[in-house]
Amino acid sequence: MRFLFDFLSPYAYTAWHLSLGLAARHGRALEPEPVLLAGLLGAHGTKGPAEVPAKRIYTFKDAFRKATAAGLPLLPPPSHPFNPLLALRTVLAADPGDRTRLVTALWRGAWGGGGGVEDPANVARLAREAGFDGEELVARSSACKERLRELTESAVREGVFGVPTLFVDGEMFWGVDALPFAELRLLGRDPFEPSTLAHWADLPATAGRNR
């Protein structure tokens, strides 16, 4: 199972913790895969919820409700939108087998009242508290710039348009609300059949809108 995320998203914060439980229940490994949400949005010509004034406050309310339902605290970061690049690259600077622990620590920094993930000193502190050499990881993060770009571009080619996105055996599930269906997939009870897609793929459009 692959979990694509950007620390910018409060929904990805909640989905990360729920996906950890989902993976554990089904004896699966969960691979965190950082991507840049701005890159996904730019590639598809869309906007993030925080960029639409009418959706901004509603989004935070909805994200708070979902986090609370999952038993998680959700506290606003120092600013939003914020620049997630340092934190995303720091994840890639860690050994793959250790990234789950680091991602969880950085989520606490972003949305759990941990002081944010833009400041290098705070990112180093969060990593250090999770058992890493935080200063070393932060120092190595700049070398991961190209890898983050590659992962983002690869996600676009796979059809990823937002975060959180969970891949289960090649099937994509987007958003917190999709996780119950991801579990059905793991149980072999996914209600969606590939043959169903043919009807949608060939459905003609008879209306559009001016942009």
Predicted confidence (pLDDT) per residue in 152-203, tens digit: 999 999 999 999 999 999 999 999 999 999 999 999 999 988 888 877 878 8
Rounded Cα gap, residues 117 and 84, in angstroms: 7
Q: What is the pTM of this model?
A: 0.95
Tell me if residue 168 falls in helix, strand or coil: strand
Q: Hey, what amino acid is at 97? A: G
List 4's β-bridge partners, or say none: 33, 165
- Classify each residue of 15-30 as buried b or exposed e, where b means 16 or more C-beta atoms within 10 Å of its C-beta: bbbbbbebbeeeeeeb
pLDDT at 15 over 90: yes
Say which CATH architecture domain 2-198 belongs to.
3-Layer(aba) Sandwich (3.40)
Domains of the chain, by residue range, sit at: 2-198
Measured in degrees and rounded to the nearest 5, phi and psi for residue 144 equal: -100, 10
A 10 A CB-CB count for 138 gives: 23
